[in-house]
Amino acid sequence: MAVKQISIFLENTKGRLADVTRILSEDNINIRALSLADTADFGVLRIIVNEPERCLKVLKTHNFVAQATEIIAVEIEDRPGGLYKILEIFDKNDINIEYMYAFVEKKADNAIVIFRIDEPEKAYDILEKNAIPVLSSDIISNI
């Protein structure tokens, strides 16, 4: 099952990030990974959570504009060259990465990289051909 990321529109003003995290904590939603992209005026908060569907509902009841986006999560070795190995594969196969972010696993010596790719099917194929396992949403939720 594909991994869902929740993207949230935020104004680039003081306290907005705190507001989102408060709302999620009140509803007992756990953020597994996050990335924040911003401009001078606004930002997009992207999070991987334990329960994406419920997270989306909670955000919407609080008037946030948010959406679920399919992303690809890949486990890489947490050592020099670990990230390069996978980026090289993408590069060689003309896979364009819209954005990416990474976090380190607590229980293993691995890191998890989240990729947002325009053509996810193509990326899945390439990863499969190169024997790189893609993480399922269940695994991500339970890290």
Partner 1 sequence: MIWNDHYETMERDRLKQVQSRSLRELVERVYKKVPFYRRKMDEQGVKPSDINQIIDIVKLPFTTKQEMRDVYPFKLLAVDLSDIVEIHTSSGTTGKPVVDAYTLRDIDTWSEVMARTLSMGDVTRQDIVQNAYGYGLFTGGLGVHYGARRIGANVIPISGGNTKRQLMIMQDFRSNVLTCTPSYSLYLAEAALEEGIDFSKLPLRVGFFGAEPWSEGMRKEIEAKLHLKALDIFGLTEIIGPGVAQECMCQDGLHIFEDHFYPEIIDPETERLLPEGEKGELVLTTLTKEGTPVLRYRTRDITYLNYKTCRCGRTSVRMNRILGRTDDMLIIRGVNVFPSQIEEVLLQVEGVEPHYQLLIDRKGQLDSIEIQVEMIEKLFSDEIKMLEKTEKKIENALYSSLGVHSKVKLVEPKSIPRSEGKARRVIDKRQV
Q: Which residues bind partner 1 (CB under 8 A)?
A: 5, 7, 9-11, 16, 37-39, 41-42, 44, 46, 63-67, 69, 98-99, 116
What is the enclosing helix (H) or strand (E) of 129?
Answer: helix 120-129
- Per the listing, tokens 């991987």 go with 48
Nearer Cβ to partner 1 (42/84): 42
Cα separation of the two ends of the chain: 16
The smaller minimum CB distance to partner 1, of residues 65 and 108, is found at: 65
Residue 142: CB minimum distance to partner 1, A: 24
Task: Name which of 31 and 44 has its Cβ closer to partner 1.
Answer: 44
Q: Residue 85: which residues within 8 A CB-CB, separation 6 or more?
A: 76, 77
